[in-house]
Every structure is written in structure tokens, then in C-alpha cells.
């Protein structure tokens, strides 16, 4: 049930972003997602940050975001672990998202695409917020 809701949220919120696309079997093989995905988890899409960004891409799955630099997975951010989401220090024009986990740790996620006030980070904040609310609602 939550997987379908997460897939639906990604399609409605993230597909309009220039750097986002639906995942292909080649993506799964290229990033090695088959080794990291949990048994009912699906790879939904890939967000590519613009060239020169520290974080190369974000793999969006039904359970988490997988953050990569140059093909190496550096962090996992499970939706169930998220307590709060906010724009980085620059506010609405921010190229980063600040995510606070239930254990109190904070993770900054670079989402550098977009123009002016229409930053891709704002769409990711909306996506993560909706997914976290969905998870809280179903328990």
C-alpha cells in the first residue's frame, strides 16, 4: 500500500523536474540497486544534479532516497526515519534540503537544479513531506 502511494507521489511531484526521470532496468544495474534494495522495495526514479554538484544523483525508491557521488552510494535516507524536512540556509532559493531524523541526526541533501525561486529542492521537500505524512497516517 505505501509503495503505491510513494510511486504515485513521485509521479505527481517529481516527474516535472528537468533532472528527474523514471528508473530503467539499466539504472538498477548501473547503480547496483539490486544489491541494496530490501525485499519489496522498488527503484522508482533517478534525479541527476547539474554538473559540478557534490552529490551526483539521488535514487528514489519506495522506501528511501539513496544518495550517490560518482557512482558510489554515500548515504541512505529512509522515509520512516524522517522527523522533519526544511529548506537549507538560503530558504526558498536553497539548493539543499535539511532532513532531521527521529534519532536527532541531520542530513543535508543537495538538490541543485531549478531556476530562481523554482528550485528542484522545493519539489523534493514537498515529495518527502507528503510521503512522511502518508506513512504517519497508515501507522
CATH numeric code, 2-138: 2.30.29.30
pLDDT of residue 71: 62
Q: Which residues of the chain have pLDDT under 70?
A: 1, 31-35, 71, 73, 90-93, 116
pLDDT of residue 88: 73
pLDDT of residue 9: 95
pLDDT of residue 128: 97
Q: Which of 128, 126, 123 is nearest to 111 (CA)?
A: 123
b/e sequence 89-126, b meaning 16+ C-beta within 10 Å: eeeeebbbbbbeeeeeeebebbbbbbeeeebbbbbbbe
Residue 25 cell numbers, joined: 532496468
Residue ranges per structural domain of the chain: 2-138
pLDDT of residue 23: 92
Rounded Cα distance between 4 and 62, Å, is: 8
What is the per-residue pLDDT across 76-90, written as a single tens digit (0 to 9) for each? 899 999 999 998 776
Residue 74 cell numbers, joined: 554515500
Amino acid at each position: 500500500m505505501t509503495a503505491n502511494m510513494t510511486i504515485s507521489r513521485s509521479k505527481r511531484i517529481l516527474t516535472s523536474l528537468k533532472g528527474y526521470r523514471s528508473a530503467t532496468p539499466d539504472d538498477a544495474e548501473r547503480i547496483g540497486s539490486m544489491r541494496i534494495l530490501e525485499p519489496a522495495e522498488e527503484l522508482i526514479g533517478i534525479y541527476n544534479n547539474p554538473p559540478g554538484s557534490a552529490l551526483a544523483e539521488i535514487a528514489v525508491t519506495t522506501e528511501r532516497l539513496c544518495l550517490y557521488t560518482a557512482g558510489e552510494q554515500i548515504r541512505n535516507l529512509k522515509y520512516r526515519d524522517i522527523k522533519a524536512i526544511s529548506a537549507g540556509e538560503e530558504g526558498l532559493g536553497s539548493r539543499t534540503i535539511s532532513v532531521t531524523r527521529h534519532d536527532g541526526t541531520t542530513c543535508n541533501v543537495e538538490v541543485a537544479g531549478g531556476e530562481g525561486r523554482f528550485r528542484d529542492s522545493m519539489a523534493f521537500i514537498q515529495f518527502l513531506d507528503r510521503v512522511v505524512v502518508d506513512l504517519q497516517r497508515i501507522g
